[in-house]
Every structure is written in C-alpha cells, then in structure tokens.
Structure 1
Amino acid sequence: MFSLKGKSAIITGGGSGIGKAISLLFARQGAYVHVIELNAEAAAQTVKEIESEGGKAAAHGCDVTSQAAVVAAFEQIGDIDILVNNAGIAHIGRADNTSEADFTKVFDVNVKGAYNCLYAAIPAMKRKGKGVVLNMASIGALVGLADRFAYSMSKGAIYAMTLSVAKDYMADGIRCNSISPARVHTPFVDGFIAKNYAGQEAEIFEKLSKSQPIGRMGKPEEVAALALYLCSDEAGFVTGNDYPLDGGFIKLNN
C-alpha cells in the first residue's frame, strides 16, 4: 500500500522541516522527488540523504515568488504526478502592527508561491489526465490565533485555493486536498524560541507544546505520513478536503 513507484513528485520547501520529511518518505515509497528550495544547499542536503537510502531525487534552487523561475524549473522537470505546496514563512503580528512590507512578503511566499506552482504544474497534469495536489494550510485557516494576522490570512487563502482547484480540475483527473497542522516541532520552532526567549527555552518549549490538548507538538514525520496517504492511489476518492493534524487543538482546546 501507499506505493509511489514510478511517480514524479515536486515538494516545495523540501530542504527542512515538514517538507524534508515529506521528501524523504515519498522517496522511500518509490517516487522520484524534486526538491524545490530557495536554499539550494538545503535542497542538496535533502537529495543527498535520499540518495544515501537508495532513493532518487533532484534539487532545484528556486524562488517560488517568481513565476518565471517556477515555470522554468517545472518545465525542466517535465513529468509531474504530485505537487506538494509546502514552502512558506511565518509571521507574528496583528492587523495594526503588521507592516505593509511584512504583509506583502507573507502573501508573496505563502499565497503567490503556491499559485505560481499550481500555474506551472496543472497544465502538465492535465496533459496526463491525472495528478495530485496537496497544499499545506494551517489551523490558522480554521480558528483564530493570537498575533498571527498575516500568517492566518495566507493559510486561509490556501484553504480556499484547495477547494477551488479540486472543483475546477476534477474532470481532468486532478485531486486536491490540504493539511492543516497545529504546531509542529521543526528547526524553525527551535530558532524562533532561541531568538525571542533567550534563557527561557525549556519553559517556552513546554508552554508551546501544551497548547495542543494532546500535550506535545506534532512531528514532521506525522505530517508526512498523512501527506503520503493523500497523495497515494489509495486516496483516489478523496478530493476537496482539508485535514487538521492538530493534537485536538480545534475541537478540544476549550
């Protein structure tokens, strides 16, 4: 079950965190993984790890905010069976203290970046008569999160884009779903805590962990496991849905 043998998968933001975990797992399941990353060195490291396990992968240094760069990269890749729109950035702030520059940056990476990849990938999938798109949303698209105005805006857009793509390309054999994680323990989280709470790392880590009712953060590998199911043939009847992976945050956090 859940074999991706013979499939070509593009993972954006595959150089670290959730994207890296998805890249490694998809390669283990037989996919040829194309890692799209702004950080070319990080992409190369993911590819190196995949190849060390006997998998097949290629690194593509690419800024997803540039449509021309994305189209060029996807044309070079050619055959596309799976697109995972994972690349994204976070931001802390409210509507009245988020600068225009920061708002635009979050939009450009998280929203326009996903659009650019959809714009480039869907024609290739239509030519094949099939394909799978998986977008990385967030619980911020579904519930109110304090001090996450721009980030939540961007993930709300991802949620809506998922529904639109699922509807528009169903007749072309293209499925589209999204995952909405709660807080996942990645290098970004560790860096954020170290930067903003020097000397309080352990205390803040515990506090952030317990914000999920299950009492811990998610693991990138847990997100990757759900991603594998949604991108596999076993999920052939699944489209137009969002899947919270939240340790009970949405339903039980009261």
Structure 2
Amino acid sequence: MAHPSYYAPQGGHPGQEQLLTDRAMFTQAYAVIPKGTMRDIVTSKLPFWQGTRAWILARPLSGFAETFSHYIMEVQPGGGSDRPDTDPGAQAVLFVVEGAVTLTLDGAEHVLEPGGYAYIPAGHPWRLRNHAGPAARFHWIRKAYEAVEGIDPPTPFVIREQDVTPNEMPGTEGRWSTTRFVDPEDMRHDMHVTIVNFLPGGVIPFAETHVMEHGLYVLEGKAVYRLNQDWVEVEAGDYMWLRAFCPQACYAGGPGPFRYLLYKDVNRHMALPRR
C-alpha cells in the first residue's frame, strides 16, 4: 500500500486572543473530542513512565462506554518504562504514529515506527523505550481480557500496517475497506483494533446499530459522521467515543482518504447481572 499518513497531537496552548470555536461534545450516547482540545493542560502522567505524558481519550465510565481505555502516549528521547502497566489482567494494542520506539516483548526487541502495531496479551511482560531521538507518539488501547474456558488465550504479535492488505467491503469497489490485524474468526480475541479506510466520497450507507462499544481516532482526512441523531464534522486528530447501540454512519469528505483507528469489543457473551 502507499505510505500511510497519521495525525499525532503536538500539545501546546492557544493564545489569549483566540475565541472558543471548538466542536467538543459529550452526550449520553457519544462523545467527540476534537484535536484542538488535546493541549498540554489535559495531559496525564502514569506510574513508572519516565519522560512521558499521555492524552487519555477514553476510560471506563459507569453508564457510558465501559470496556476499554485509549491513550495517546508521547515519549521523549530516552523516556519510556520498564513497568508500563501495573494491571496483570490488561491486554494491549500499541500503534505508532510518529517517531520510533523499541518494544521489548517476552524478551524479544522490536523497533516500531509509524504504522507499527503490537498486540500484547494479558500477563506478558513488556518494556518500551524511545532510543531513536525525536519524540515518539503512539496509541495505547487497553482492555481487561475475558478468558473463556476451553479457548486458549491469544499470543503476542508485532506487524506493520504497510504489510497488511485491506479487506474491501462487498459492493463498494474499494471505496470502503478495513485493515484487519486479527482474523475475525479467531475466538481467542475479545477485542479488535483495526483501521477503517474510505476513499473520497465513500460512505457507510446505513445507520450501523450494534452491541459493540467503539473508540474512533481519525488518522487522516475528514468526514461528516452520523452519531445517534446528529451529523458532526470530524477531521484528522479528532476522537469519537460511542456507547453500545449508538447509530453511526458517515460520508468521507475528501480530497484525500478518510481513515480512523477503531476499537470494538467482540466475540464474548454479554455479562448478565446476578441477584
């Protein structure tokens, strides 16, 4: 595939002369976090990380999306962590959008550059450092793994988006496709993190309404996106967070591709309350 483009936040702070003209919204069905809100003042620090800050875009909230967290990590030269996650039950996907990091996973070293993707199962030791020089930025999506008796847990892997052929949606002539890093038939996985691709003018021509929770980070391009009963304009750097069953659709605006990194929970029974 052609060399992909990825938007990464840079932080900073708007001047006092600027007016509030942003598109941020938080409703009972969805949230939109525009790129303009990802400033220095909203970053967080994490335990055992050095030279690093995080934009935390999604976290479990009672009554809203409840299954995952989504960070954008910014690691300065020499920064990183030898104990990145203190939750042994958390699985992770890392996706690099700027710079380069060295990931040590189960004792093996991998250099991840833009487009680099790593799946880290729960309970597998890992470390991450920025030895390359410029600041590195990557997405870190976490979910508590739901084990199923009789199904083996998934194994770790490292891959590049550039080496994966997107799957075209039927009848779209390639205008709508998905870059899948995990076989949808693989029941070991209880979450999918994919990249959804639209060519200019491509559409989701019906209101998708289904049980998965969604986190969507726009990597490239712009679109008009339908969220519940509203049409919202989104562009590279924006984030959308959808509850289960929130209707969604979109029109890709051009002039270039519209692409987003997508999280959803899959392949498990719905947990039932116990009285």
Both structures adopt the same fold (TM-score exceeding 0.5): no
TM, length-normalised to structure 2: 0.29
TM, length-normalised to structure 1: 0.31
The structure having more radius of gyration, on CA atoms, is 2
